[in-house]
Structure 1
Amino acid sequence: MTNTPEFQRNGYHLAKGAVGDAPISEWLRAASRRMESAPEGLVSRHGEPYAMRGIVAQCPYIAACIRESILPRLIRPLLGREARLVRSLLLDKTPDNNWGVPWHRDLNIAVKNKGDVPGFNGWREKGEGWYVEPPFELLQKMVTARIHLDDCLADDGPLSVIPGSHEWPSLSWESIVERANDAEASEIHAHRGDALLMRPLLVHSSHRALKPSHRRVLHLEFCAEELPAGLEWCD
């Protein structure tokens, strides 16, 4: 079960074996085909792709698995029957793109169109859509699922989280880092097919892989809320 006191208190839960090995293999094949045939949405550095935006919308098999399995089993117990996928992103750490990120919260959402809407700030155009920071209250109602397509252990650049930090108030980035450095962090070790469910306001970071090869993660964001004033979710 995902909707447990531990998830509510800590802001995350590792669902082991959420996706079987055969579907994961097909997901990877579908994603590879799409990345090779459709460069739109690819995010690259030094000529090497390390992410693809909107991957689920472009891969019907992955979309069907999420609709038929991930949503009813893992997400709707947390967000209710109206929960839907609102953003998807395929991430990979490779020897050529062995990136890390400092302590932060996920404060931006992806939408199709820009609008002058109170409480939505910091508009930036990326790829096929726009990124914007919505009201804090909306972020509190979202859940992210990180589906691990490869093992992600101590040497693979795993995610570190600050349990309970999703309950911290709205803070500046400097205050977040200061608090995180004084808190006890948990490093999330996951195997292929495990799903890390987390609140986007959970403070988290990721260091560079010590032995980089592939560390592929399907990053999925879910929400049950409609956006105001004609704004539309990307996925």
Structure 2
Amino acid sequence: MNHSAEINNEGFTIIDNVYSENEIEKLISLIENVTENNSENTTFRKSQDLFAIRQFHKEIPETLSFIFNENLNNIIESTFGKGYFITKSIYFDKPEKSNWFVAYHQDLTISVDKKMEVENFENWTIKQNQFAVQPPKEILEDNFTIRIHIDTTTKDNGALKVINNSHSKGIVRIENLNFESETETICEVKKGGIMIMKPLLFHASNKTTNNERRRVIHIEFSKQQLPSGLEWSEKTTLL
């Protein structure tokens, strides 16, 4: 399969067997070791329905050598080229009995180091001392996200569902999409596989119905230099 073409045409692609069983078990071990000993950390969010670690690659940097194995490095370079760096990472753990769901949306914000007046950067927010802003769509169009699946994810335990090719429409309001004429795909991914998607792809997640856990490492990438002294707050160069 030509994954570059599928990402361009549909806004996403799924690739199996990127990680071995041993690599997944090592990632789980590293994550569990940190989460058990740092329950008061403010970048950790825990509820009955969701456990999340923001700035994941900074909180558990030991995972990076396992995440960026030869398979993933080859996929990134062959699909997008060189020069990309991490701009954001989040670990999601959707527990077995989770009733948490996410409505259809586009990923419109980026994390930056400070708030300042910059042309065409708008809708500023701050959460846990982290500034977020909506950049010009040209920046979002060039970025991509990789979701690493630590558990097999199906339609019954909250797999992402997407509106195919919706990334090509630019920034739009969900009510302006005609669902009658759109194609929806449920993105089931096997343990050790990845999903690559574009930020402007409309995506959502249903509630878990089969009491099976779903753990995902979500990493966003860019190669864009931000203007006027603004900088990516989580920028980490690896490749």
TM-score normalised over the length of structure 2: 0.89
* Number of the residue aligned with 2:232: 233
Shift of 1:190: 0.9
| Superposition pairs of residues 126-141 of structure 1, within 5 angstroms | 126-141=127-142
* Number of the residue aligned with 1:83: 84
| 1: CA distance, partners of 2:193 / 2:186 | 15
Judge conservation of contact 1:160–1:204 (CA < 8 Å) in 2.
yes
* Number of the residue aligned with 1:206: 205
**1:159-211: CA deviation from partner (whole Å, max 9, x where unpaired):** 11111111013212322xx4345412111111111100011111111110112
* Number of the residue aligned with 1:40: 42
| 2: CA distance, partners of 1:143 / 1:70 | 17
| Superposition pairs of residues 34-183 of structure 1, within 5 angstroms | 34-38=34-38, 39-45=41-47, 50-69=51-70, 72-95=73-96, 97-175=98-176, 178-180=177-179, 182-183=181-182
Judge conservation of contact 2:98–2:208 (CA < 8 Å) in 1.
no
Judge conservation of contact 1:94–1:214 (CA < 8 Å) in 2.
yes
* Number of the residue aligned with 2:237: none
Shift of 1:4: 3.0
| CA RMSD, 1 decimal | 2.0
| 1: CA distance, partners of 2:26 / 2:2 | 25
Paired residues, what number?
A: 232
Taking every aligned residue pair, what percent have the same amino acid on both sides?
28
Unaligned runs of 5+ in 2: 235-239
* Number of the residue aligned with 1:194: 193
Judge conservation of contact 2:43–2:53 (CA < 8 Å) in 1.
yes
* Number of the residue aligned with 1:12: 12
C-alpha spacing 1:65/1:204, structure 2 compared with 1 (3 Å): same
Matched, 1:31 2:23: no
2:43 corresponds to which letter in structure 1?
G
| 2: CA distance, partners of 1:71 / 1:157 | 24
Shift of 1:24: 1.1
TM-score normalised over the length of structure 1: 0.90
